[in-house]
Amino acid sequence: MNVSKRVAIVTGASRGLGEVLARVLAERGYDLVIGARNPGPLHDVAESIRQTGANVVPVAGDVTDASVRARLVGAARELGGLDLLVNNASELGGIGPLMAFDVQRFGRVFPVNAGAPIALIQGAVPLLAERRGLIVNITSDAAHGAYPGWGPYGASKAALELLTLTLANELRERGVSAVLVDPGDMRTRMYQDAFPLEDISGRPLPAVTVPFWNWLFDQAPSDLSGERFEAQRQDARWLQQV
């Protein structure tokens, strides 16, 4: 058991923003527990990051499954503890008008985007409290924008935002901090799925957020708890300090 190194859990880490985050943390000396539904791509990412010298434990499975969440937390415990939890896994749920939306699909969108993050946090907080750790929940401008076609996804992210701010208040006495990060529009599979006929080659790759993450992880978590950040916003506070 390694009790000296920092440890992070990152969900949705087999591609896109989650993979970028995992690589940033590995470069910063973290040992990692990474999760995603698809075992093949997840194990490929884990093996690639291991080449940097980081200890990486891949946990494949759906984050809405309690046994998968238990494995994520258990793997962190085996690595020595937990300093950081990033809830990045998300479900788009399809783009289209609310009047045509099959409301039964809420049963997938909300569990992935709001329920599973809170359930994973519940399991991880005892470890996070031991190290005065940080929770990072990935959100979207769709939580506030009321964009046509984005209602279900935006509603789930709005729920996650309120839950995160509540957690920041409730966990303060336990020494655990929680923040929200909107990474902005990026060239990812999810964004392409949202706009299947659109050429998104002009969108930035998720690596555009790397300077923000390095700034965020340099801060004392308790100084930031309850805040919402926009990783690509040009006038954001963090850009003034990079």
4 exposure class (CB count in 10 Å sphere: 0-12, 13-18, 19+): exposed
Residues 72 and 10: their CA atoms lie apart, in Å, by 9
> Cβ distance 42 to 58 under 8 Å?
yes
191 part of the active site: no
Q: Which amino acid is at 95?
A: I
Residues 219 and 179: their CA atoms lie apart, in Å, by 12
Helices (H), the chain: 16-27, 39-50, 66-79, 106-110, 116-130, 142-145, 151-170, 189-194, 210-216, 221-224
Phi, psi of 182, deg, nearest 5: -95, 110
> Number of helices and strands (H, E) in the chain?
10, 7
Please identify which of the residues 30, 147, 153, 191 carries the catalytic annotation: 153
* Other C-beta atoms lying within 10 Å of the C-beta of residue 166: 13
Q: Which residues of 7-25 are buried (b: 16+ CB within 10 A; e: fewer)?
A: bbbbbbbbbbbbbbbbbbb
Q: What is the distance of C-alpha 176 from the center of its chain? A: 16
Active site (catalytic) residues = 153
